[in-house]
């Protein structure tokens, strides 16, 4: 785990409309081939923690967040209610294993704002992303990345579907693989699964 302490100035704070925008902005690009996906996806073994400056968050609380969040699978995010006590507040929400930082942040903020009892809207205080992260057309959670590497295969019609707003995914092979993968992914509880990787042979 690499700690990134060149902290971003200002925490990420979104209202309800902003959460919808953040989830939508995490939408996938057009499907890529398995060979292309292998070049885009990050190693599931390394991650880095990016801390945001949050006004009013003490150094002790920031260190606690670092210790808690660093062991979670990417993509992860921690949202807090700035005016509530970190350790006692039910609004401190950590979500992990999403398919992008945007999706994890939106989910954490939604849960935090639903649970907070007072004060200003919640902010994202930390995110976990792959080590040596850089923007890629395709991003998947740790579980999705491991599943692709282990089970996608190298021949025949095959596809992988994923949800842009959650960490859900599914793989399928054979005739109609793309439709089957989307159906299996949505059956897990998502409503926005789409084909992200596909090969015809």
Q: List residues bridging with 48 in a β-sheet.
A: 2, 129
Give the DSSP letter of residue 131: T
**Nearest-angstrom CA–CA distance, 167 and 74:** 10
Give the DSSP letter of residue 32: B
**Nearest-angstrom CA–CA distance, 31 and 74:** 21
The model's pTM is: 0.83
Report yes or no: 3 and 49 within 8 Å, Cβ to Cβ: yes
Number of H helices, E strands in the chain: 6, 9
Render pLDDT for 39-84 as a digit per residue (tens, 0 to 9). 999 999 999 999 998 887 888 888 888 888 988 999 999 999 988 8
């Amino acid at each position: 785990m690499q700690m990134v302490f060149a902290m971003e100035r200002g925490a990420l704070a979104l209202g309800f409309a902003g959460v919808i925008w953040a989830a939508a902005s995490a939408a996938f690009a057009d499907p890529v081939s398995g060979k292309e996906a292998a070049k885009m996806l990050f190693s599931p073994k390394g991650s880095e923690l990016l801390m945001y400056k949050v006004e009013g968050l003490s150094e002790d609380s920031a260190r606690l967040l670092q210790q808690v969040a660093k062991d979670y699978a990417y993509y992860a995010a921690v949202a807090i209610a700035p005016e509530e006590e970190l350790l006692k507040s039910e609004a401190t929400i950590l979500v992990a294993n999403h398919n992008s930082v945007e999706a994890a942040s939106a989910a954490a903020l939604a849960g935090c704002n639903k649970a907070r009892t007072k004060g200003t809207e919640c902010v994202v205080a930390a995110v976990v992303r792959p080590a040596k992260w850089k923007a890629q057309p395709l991003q998947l959670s740790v579980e999705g990345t491991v599943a692709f590497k282990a089970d996608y295969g190298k021949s025949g019609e095959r596809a992988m579907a994923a949800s842009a707003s959650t960490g859900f995914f599914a793989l399928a092979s054979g005739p109609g693989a793309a439709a089957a993968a989307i159906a299996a992914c949505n059956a897990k509880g998502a409503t926005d699964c789409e084909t992200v990787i596909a090969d015809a042979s």
